[in-house]
Amino acid sequence: MNLRGVFRRRVAPALIGLLLHAAAATAAAPAGALFTDVPLPGGLAGLLRAAGIPGQPDPAIAMLAFVRVAHASELGPQSPPLAYIDAVARRESAGPALPDGDVRTDLVPVPLTPAFWSDAVFGRNVPPGDLAAAILGDRRAAFVYHGLMALDDRTLAFFSEHPALVRSIAETGAGPFAEWGRSIHVSQGSVEVPGGKNAEPLWQAVIGEPPASAPAFIRALVERDGGRAAFFFDTIAHLDPSRQAFALGPAGAERRAERFRALYGVFARTKTFDPAAGWPVLRHPFNPAAVLREAAADASGRMAGPGWRGLWEAAFGGGRACARAGADASPVDAAWLVDRIEREPLEARGPWLGAVAFAQRVFGRATRDQAPAVCQAAAAFPRANGLLLTLERIGLDDPNEYAAAISFADRAWAGGDRWAAVLRTAQVQGVLAVLDRAVSSRAISKADARRLLASLFATDRGAQAGAGPAAGSVARWICDTMLAGLCPRQPSGDRCLVGLASGEGRSAGEISWEDDRYRIDLGAAAAVRMDRVLEAQRATRVDDALNMMAAQAILADPRAAAADLGRAATILGALGRLQILERTELFGHAVPPMRTAVAVAAAAAGRETDRSAAAGSLVGVADALMADALVSLSYAMAIGDPDDAVLMGGNLAHRHLFDGTLGPATPPWHTPDEVRTLDGTWVVEGSTLMLRLVYARTWLRRLSIQDPGKRPRPDPQDVLVFGETEALFNPFDLTDASRDAIVAALGRGRAAIARLVRDPDALWAAAADVGLGEWRCRAALLAAGRGSAASARGAADFFSLLELMRLGRPDAPRGAIDAWGAATRPIDGGPWVRMPAARTWEDLQGPRGVGLLATQVADVHLRVAEELSALKLPASLAPDVSAYAAWDAMTEAMMAHPDDWFAAARGAVAIPADRFLDYVAALTAIGPLVPVR
C-alpha cells in the first residue's frame, strides 16, 4: 500500500476523529441547553444502510427511525443495525470508512447535553463524539432518547433540571416513556393533565401522586401497572374535546371519580396488550382506547344518541329484552361501555364497536319509543352487518325499516328447507347489491330505493307463519316490480341491472385532451368491466331466469293457448342447453336435477295433459337461475380488473357459501370473508353484499409491471385497505367545488407553516389541532432552527398533505371533503371512504395485520385533486386516476418498516407530476374518456 493510501485509509480517519471530538467538545451546549448537535460516526448514510432504511431522512428523524427498526421487540442484540453500531463504537470516533475510502460523519441533534446523558442515563462519562453511537446502541438509552424527542420545550427544560427522574425512567419505565411519554407536559413544576385543573383530583386518585408534584407523578405514570397508566394517560390526552369529556365524565356528575377509577381499571387489567413484552407495544385493534376514540359524545361529555343504558344492556344481551329497551333511559358512561366491550371475546369486540358506531350514525335522533327497533338493529349487527351497512349506504334511517329488514332476512331461513333459504337469500342480496350501486351512481333516488325495499320486504306477508317467502315470490317481484318499475322500456333484464349498477349513459360533459375531444361517461367503463367479468365467468344471465319464469307461467296456466304452449316449449328447448343445469352442487348445496325438470316440462308443453306438476318443478329451476345470475352479477360488480387472475378458476359465484361452515362460520347476512377450503382453494363465506371489500386488490391498477425493488412494504392487510379505498372512491360523490376547496386549503396550509415555525408554541398548538405527531413537530422545529432560507420549506416536509389540508381548513361541507377520504372499515366497519379524523398516527399505531395504517392515508386523493386542478380536468376523473396513483405511491414509498405511516403518506408527494399525464392517457383506453366521433 502506498503512503497516500495509508494516509487516506488509516491516518486521515484518526485525525478527523480527533478534530470532531475537539469540535464537539468545543460546541458542546451549555448547561440547560435543550438540544446539542453531536457527531454521528459513519454518517447518516451508513446508519440508514445498516438498518435497511431507504432514502435520506432528515437528521432529526433518522435516529428515531433507527431506534424504531433496531430496537423492535422481535430483533435481538445481534441484529445487523445493532452490530453496526457496536462496530462504530469500537472504532475510532470517525467511524468506519465507506467503500471509496471517504470518511462520513454527520451531525445529529440530541436532546439535552452530553454531560446530562453521561450523568442521568449512562452513569459514566461519554464524550460528545461518542454520544450518538452510545445512545443508539443501548436499548434503555434509545428509549429515553425516543421519548425526549417528543417533548415540548418547557417540558424538556423541566427534565433537564431533574436528572434523577430521567435516571429512574431509564431504569424502570423506559419502554412506556418511549411509547407514551409524548403526552407529558409540564408547566411551572406541575403536570398538565387531560381535562385541566378540574380533573387533577381524578388523576391523583388514579396515578397515586398529585400532578403538582411532577417528578413523582411522572415516575408513577410510567411505572404503574407495567406502563398501562401511561397508555391510559396518553389515550385520554389525545381524544378530541367531546370524547375526552365523555371519558372524564361530565363535570359535577354523580360518582364521577368512581367511574373514572373504574375506567382506568379496565385499562389496568386489559389483556389486549402487554407493555412489558416488548417495544413498540403490540396491541389489539379494539383495545379500550379504540372504544373511547370511536364512540361519539356530545360537548357536555354524554354519549351521543342512542345512549340509553337499557337499550345497550338489551343489545349486548343478544336482543332478547329489546321490547323493554326504552325503559331504562339512564345514560351510558365511558367506564360501562369500555368494560362491556372488553368483556366480549377478542373476535367479537370489533363487531360490537361497529354496532355502537353504526347506531350512533344512523339512529342519533331516535326517540325512546323507537328504542326497541334500534335495539333489534344493534343486537343484529354482529351477525348481519352486511345487511345493515348496505341499508345505511342506500339511505335508510328509520329504525322500523331496519327492524323490518332484519325480520325479513330471518324469515328467509325460518323453514326447514335450507336450499330454498339459500336461493331466497341470494336473490334478495343480489337486489340489495344492485340498489346500493344504483343509488351510488345516482341511477335512482334514495326515495325510490326505499319504496322498492318496503315492497320487497312485504313479499312474504301472506306466507304461512314460520315458512318464509314462497318459492318464486322474490323472483316474480324482481320481474314484476323492480325491472318493470325501473326499466319499463328495456327488453333485457341484464342490460337494465348492469345499467343501474354502473350509471351507464350519464354524460358528465366533454373535455379536450392531447388535441382530441372526449366525452366523460362515468358508467361506460364500469359497464364494460362488468360485462367482461360476466363473460369470463360464463355466468348465468338474468334474462335466462326471466325466460324460465315466463315458460313456467305459461305451463301453470290451464287456459294457455296452443301458440303460447309452443312458445314455452321453444323457450325450454333453448334453455335446456344451459351448462348451469348440469351442476349437481351450487352455493355448497346439492342441486335437484334441473335439466331433467326442464326436459319433462318441455315435453309436457306438447301434450294435452295436466301440466301443473311440470310447472311446479320449474319454479325451483327459475329460482336457482335467478339466484345464480344475481350472485354472478354481484361478483361482476365487485371485481375491479376483468383480467385479474382471480377469474381464472371459473365462476366464483358458484362456490359462494351463504351458510358455510369452514372455520368460524360466517352468517349469511354478515359481510363476506374469504376462507380456504380443505383442498386449498379459496371461497367466500357470508353475504354477497359489499363483495368489493374481498376483492379490493383488483381495484389497484398499474401502468408498469416493473419490480420496484426490495424494501419494507405495507402489510398485506394495508394493501387490501388501500384497494378498498380505491374500490369505494365514488366519482358521483365528487365535485369540482370540493376539489378546488381542497387545493386552496393545501395552499393556505403551506403558507401557514412559514408563520408557525417562528413561534414554537403556536406550532405545538397547531400540531395538536391537525394531528401532526409530536415527534414530527419537534423535527419541524429543528429543521426550521437551522436558519437557512429554506427553513420553512424544510419544516413543511414534515407535514403530510392531509395535515396541510387540515391546517388550511377547506371551505366546503364536511360530506363533500369526506368523499375524497380513505376507507374506514378496519376502524368502524363501514364500507365507504371518509377523511381521517385529526388524530396522530401514533394513536392507532400498534395493531398488526388489520389495515389501520391505510385508513389514515388520504394523501393520494389529495395529490390527485391538486394535479387534476392543475390540468384543468374534472374531479369526476379522480377515482380512475387514483387507482393508478395509489399503486405507485404504495410501491415507491420509502418506508423504514411496514408501520411507517409518514413514509406511506409521503409516497403520494413523490409521484412525478408528469406521471399523471400517463394516468389520464390510460383513461382514454380503459376508462371513462370516450372519444367523440
pLDDT digits (tens, 9 = 90+) for 41-68: 888 888 888 888 888 788 888 899 999 9
Instruction: Name the region of 261 (left: φ>0; alpha: ψ -120 to 50; beta: rest).
Output: alpha
- Min mean pLDDT across 25-34, 326-335, 429-438 is at 25-34
pLDDT tens, residue by residue, 829-850: 888 999 999 999 999 988 878 8
- Per-residue pLDDT for 27 more than 60? no
Q: Give SS3 for 186.
A: strand
pLDDT tens, residue by residue, 570-629: 999 999 989 999 999 999 999 999 999 999 998 888 776 778 888 889 999 999 999 999
Percentage of the chain lying above the pLDDT 90 cut: 69
The pLDDT, as a whole number, for residue 101 is: 40
pLDDT tens, residue by residue, 281-324: 888 899 999 999 999 999 999 999 999 999 999 999 999 999 99
Cβ neighbors of 832 (< 8 A, separation 6 or more) are 393, 728, 823, 824
Residues 539, 118: Cα–Cα separation, whole Å: 73
- Average pLDDT in the chain: 89
- Per-residue pLDDT for 742 more than 90? yes
Binned at pLDDT 50, 70 and 90, residue 709 comes out as low
pLDDT tens, residue by residue, 450-504: 999 999 999 887 565 556 678 899 999 999 999 999 999 999 999 999 999 998 8
* Contact criterion met (CB below 8 Å) for 707 and 687: no
Residues 89, 102: Cα–Cα separation, whole Å: 18
The pLDDT, as a whole number, for residue 22 is: 44
The alpha carbons of the chain give a radius of gyration, in whole angstroms, of: 32
Cβ neighbors of 88 (< 8 A, separation 6 or more) are 41, 42, 95, 96, 133
Question: Regarding predicted confidence, which is higher, 756 or 706?
Answer: 756
Burial of 60 (0-12, 13-18, 19+ CB in 10 A): buried
The pLDDT, as a whole number, for residue 3 is: 45
CA distances from 60 to 108, 146, 303, 802, 922 (A): 7, 11, 41, 21, 40
Q: Look-up: residue for cell 367466500?
A: 684
Residues 275, 263: Cα–Cα separation, whole Å: 18
Residues 781, 252: Cα–Cα separation, whole Å: 40
Q: Give SS3 for 1.
A: coil
* Contact criterion met (CB below 8 Å) for 485 and 452: yes
The pLDDT, as a whole number, for residue 896 is: 85
The pLDDT, as a whole number, for residue 4 is: 45
Residues 464, 475: Cα–Cα separation, whole Å: 18
What's the residue count for the chain?
933
The continuous run of DSSP H or E covering 853 comes out as helix 852-855
Grid coordinates belonging to 115 = 454531560
pLDDT tens, residue by residue, 200-232: 999 999 999 999 999 999 999 999 999 999 999
Q: Look-up: residue for cell 369486540?
A: 349
Q: Look-up: residue for cell 462504530?
A: 88
Residues 614, 621: Cα–Cα separation, whole Å: 11
Residues 801, 306: Cα–Cα separation, whole Å: 35
Residues 421, 725: Cα–Cα separation, whole Å: 33
Binned at pLDDT 50, 70 and 90, residue 73 comes out as low
Q: Largest alpha-carbon pair distance within the chain?
A: 114
Q: Look-up: residue for cell 379536450?
A: 512
Percentage of the chain lying above the pLDDT 70 cut: 91
- Per-residue pLDDT for 443 more than 90? yes
Which residue(s) pair with 834 in the sheet? 822
- Per-residue pLDDT for 640 more than 90? yes
- Between CA 801 and CA 804, with CA 802 as vertex, the angle to 5 degrees is 60
Binned at pLDDT 50, 70 and 90, residue 692 comes out as very high
The pLDDT, as a whole number, for residue 708 is: 57
The pLDDT, as a whole number, for residue 24 is: 44
Q: Look-up: residue for cell 403526552?
A: 183
Binned at pLDDT 50, 70 and 90, residue 250 comes out as confident
Q: Look-up: residue for cell 383530583?
A: 201
Q: Residue 117 CA to chain centroid, in angstroms?
A: 41
Q: Look-up: residue for cell 383495545?
A: 287
Grid coordinates belonging to 631 = 350472485
- Reported pTM: 0.92
Q: List, as one string, the DSSP characters of 306-350.
A: S-BHHHHHHHHTTSTTGGGTTS--PBPPHHHHHHHHHTS-HHHHH
Q: List, as one string, the DSSP characters of 751-774.
A: HHHHHHTT-HHHHHHHHHHHT--H
CB neighbours of residue 679 within 10 Å: 5
Q: List, as one string, the DSSP characters of 73-132.
A: TT--TTSHHHHHHHHHHHS-TT-PBPTTS-B-EEEEEEES-HHHHIIIIISS---HHHHH
Binned at pLDDT 50, 70 and 90, residue 662 comes out as low
Q: What is the end-to-end Cα distance of the chain in Å, rounded?
A: 75
- Per-residue pLDDT for 17 more than 70? no
* Contact criterion met (CB below 8 Å) for 475 and 629: no
The continuous run of DSSP H or E covering 400 comes out as helix 399-411
- Per-residue pLDDT for 890 more than 80? yes
* Contact criterion met (CB below 8 Å) for 291 and 343: no
The pLDDT, as a whole number, for residue 859 is: 97
Give phi and psi for 811, each to the nearest 5.
-90, 75
Residues 203, 264: Cα–Cα separation, whole Å: 10
- Per-residue pLDDT for 1 more than 70? no
- Per-residue pLDDT for 787 more than 70? no
- Per-residue pLDDT for 657 more than 80? yes
Binned at pLDDT 50, 70 and 90, residue 539 comes out as very high
Pairing of strands 929-931, 507-513: unpaired
Instruction: Name the region of 495 (left: φ>0; alpha: ψ -120 to 50; beta: rest).
Output: alpha
Q: Look-up: residue for cell 369452514?
A: 662
- Per-residue pLDDT for 15 more than 50? no
Mean pLDDT of 256-260: 94
Instruction: Name the region of 607 (left: φ>0; alpha: ψ -120 to 50; beta: rest).
Output: beta
Residue 790 identity: A
Q: Give SS3 for 252.
A: coil
CB neighbours of residue 8 within 10 Å: 17
The pLDDT, as a whole number, for residue 413 is: 85
The pLDDT, as a whole number, for residue 254 is: 80
Cβ neighbors of 606 (< 8 A, separation 6 or more) are 565, 566, 569
Residues 268, 347: Cα–Cα separation, whole Å: 21
* Contact criterion met (CB below 8 Å) for 175 and 72: no
The pLDDT, as a whole number, for residue 14 is: 43
The pLDDT, as a whole number, for residue 97 is: 43
Mean pLDDT of 554-579: 91
